[in-house]
Amino acid sequence: MPELRFDQRVAVITGAGRGLGRAYALLLASKGAKVVVNDPGGSLKGAGIDAGPAEQVVREIKAAGGEAIACTESVATPAGGNAIIQAAFDTYGRIDILIHNAGNVRPGTLKEMSYEDFDAVLDVHLRGAFHVVRPAFPRMCAAGYGRVVLTSSIGGLYGNVRVANYGAAKAGLIGLSNVIALEGAAEGVRCNLIVPGAVTRMAEGIDTSAYPPMTSEMVAPVVAWLAHEACNISGEMLVSIAGRIARAFVAESPGVYQDAWTAETVAEHMDAIRNAHTPVIFPVLPSGHIDHIRYAFAMTAGAGSSKTQAH
């Protein structure tokens, strides 16, 4: 297979000063992309500004013969998100790829988590994604081309303790990605989620001594493919952890139909309701939302009932 290159493509990568984002930036630049390396350089909690990390990545890219600029604006505000995308246009005149990787961590149990810490994490992960997607998406649509990669987490898929803010944000990104994929389908814009696992500074405080190799560089090729014009999927989630790449998706059990239910009959049928031996999958594209409703309606019609409800 010929090398997948990004010559003449412009990529904006948030959180690209360290860890995963840095690996993405270096890989795409090595394949010809012009990269906007966005990172305010703050602490894990999102405090402070340090241009050093973004500028260091730019130096590495240029030293290897690539093109890049640093941008230290924060995704946490609409103005910051707009400035990040505008930096691509001011320097390169376009945007082809948007990878939202920026993140912060403010752990705490549900009993102790402050509203400030909850909002601060959503501001970077979830609202931050919208803050950069909102100015980038219409421009991609106008150009008839775009690749958007958002970052979810197994914490968003399955949850974890002491990170209600993080889990909620990462789960929210699934819904946002799906809408981008649906609205971009006719415009040449594709959007997918990466669900990465790597030992970065976000793993501080965790004993990783027994972990297999889990580097950011192991995840980067998956993101590069999602960001490439050859990517032929949209509205999907790819997992990359310790060398394993997989597709994650939402599935349902086939379900049980009755024309009327009581709390007692729900209890009686719960084993059958939960039986996922033959799961049902409704891919986001082309019409997962509608397909889900049609599936339920078909069960109703098959039972000869004229009563239908959709929620």
Backbone angles phi, psi at 144, to 5 degrees: 75, 20
Distance CA 100, CA 89 (A): 17
Residue 254 has a pLDDT of 97
Catalytic residue among 24, 158, 166, 257: 166
Q: Tokens standing for 118?
A: 């909850």
Amino acid at the residue 283: P
Burial (CB count within 10 angstroms: exposed 0-12, middle 13-18, buried 19+), residue 112: exposed
**Greatest CA separation for the chain:** 70
Residue 204 has a pLDDT of 66
Backbone angles phi, psi at 79, to 5 degrees: -65, -40
Other Cβ atoms closer than 10 A to 218: 19
Strands 10-14 and 146-151 turn out to be: unpaired
DSSP output for 63-127: HTT-EEEEE---TTSHHHHHHHHHHHHHHHS---EEEE-------B-TTT--HHHHHHHHHHHHH
Distance CA 141, CA 202 (A): 34
| Active site annotation includes 295 | no
pLDDT tens-digit profile, the chain (311 residues): 899 999 999 999 999 999 999 999 999 999 999 999 999 998 777 777 889 999 999 999 999 999 999 999 999 999 999 999 999 999 999 999 999 999 999 999 999 999 999 999 999 999 999 999 999 999 999 999 999 999 999 999 999 999 999 999 999 999 999 999 999 999 999 999 999 999 877 666 677 778 899 999 999 999 999 999 999 999 999 999 999 999 999 999 999 999 999 999 999 999 999 999 999 999 999 999 999 999 999 998 876 543 433 33
pLDDT digits 0-9 by tens, 58-93 = 999 999 999 999 999 999 999 999 999 999 999 999
Residue 205 has a pLDDT of 66
Q: Which among 64, 58, 124 is positioned nearest to 91, based on CA atoms?
A: 58
Q: Look up tokens 């290897």; give the residue.
A: 64
Q: Which among 45, 43, 47, 35 is positioned nearest to 18, based on CA atoms?
A: 43
SS3 243: coil
Distance CA 13, CA 98 (A): 6
Predicted TM-score (pTM) of the model is 0.94
In the chain, which ranges are continuous DSSP H helix?
19-30, 52-63, 78-92, 115-143, 154-158, 164-184, 216-227, 263-268, 270-274, 288-302
